[in-house]
Amino acid sequence: MPLYGLSIVAHTLSPLFSIPAWAIFVYYAYRALEASRTAEDPWRGHGSPRPYLLVCIASLTVHFVTFLSLGEGSLPAAFVTPSLAGLVVLTTAAVFVATSAPPQVRDVRSWMVIGVVSIAGSAAVVPAFLFGLLPPADPSATIAPLAQISLAVASLGSFLVAGRTARRRVPLVARKAAVPRRGP
């Protein structure tokens, strides 16, 4: 969860600045999936989050390769590919986090949906400007980054609230009181 938060917030600040955070996120996500193979399947009855991680890695590669290949004098149309790939990256990362959560956390569906939708909204701000859905005015030059950061923080916050809500909803297991044994 902290790596997801670091990755999405760093990505909204500067995509190239977030490369180390994304590398660490992918490494630990892969390790979590590999560790779950040895234990009982935690996704029994649910789809595995592995396809979301694979799509996230593929789109992350496309996103950063196209972003790095853009020159200083690139056309605004050249930003379409990294912008759309960024939308896919952030959304699939959020869906991966939501589907790889423990079963009691996955039961708090409303917070999980808010987390996925808010990061998708954060990632959709840049393509919306590129396609002319949002007006490119001077005040929006500061509003757009603030909207992206606030939606990214809202996504992280909703996942954290889902975890805390699930902990409160799960009944505590009563422990058996220690009864002293009587000797012969």
Distance CA 87, CA 130 (A): 13
Q: Is pLDDT larger for residue 74 or for residue 17?
A: 17
pLDDT at 89 over 80: yes
Q: Under a CB-based contact definition with an 8 Å cutoff, are residues 144 and 130 in contact? A: no
The predicted pLDDT at position 136 comes to 60
Residues 124 and 130 sit within 8 Å (Cβ to Cβ):
no
| For range 62-90, the mean pLDDT | 73
pLDDT, mean of residues 149-176? 70
Spans of all domains in the chain: 2-37+47-69+78-169
What is the predicted pLDDT for the residue at 174? 47
Average pLDDT of 31-47?
A: 67
Cβ burial, residue 138 (10 Å; 0-12/13-18/19+): exposed
Residues in the chain: 184
* pLDDT value of position 41: 60
Q: In the chain, which ranges are continuous DSSP H helix? A: 2-13, 19-38, 50-69, 80-99, 103-106, 109-130, 140-169
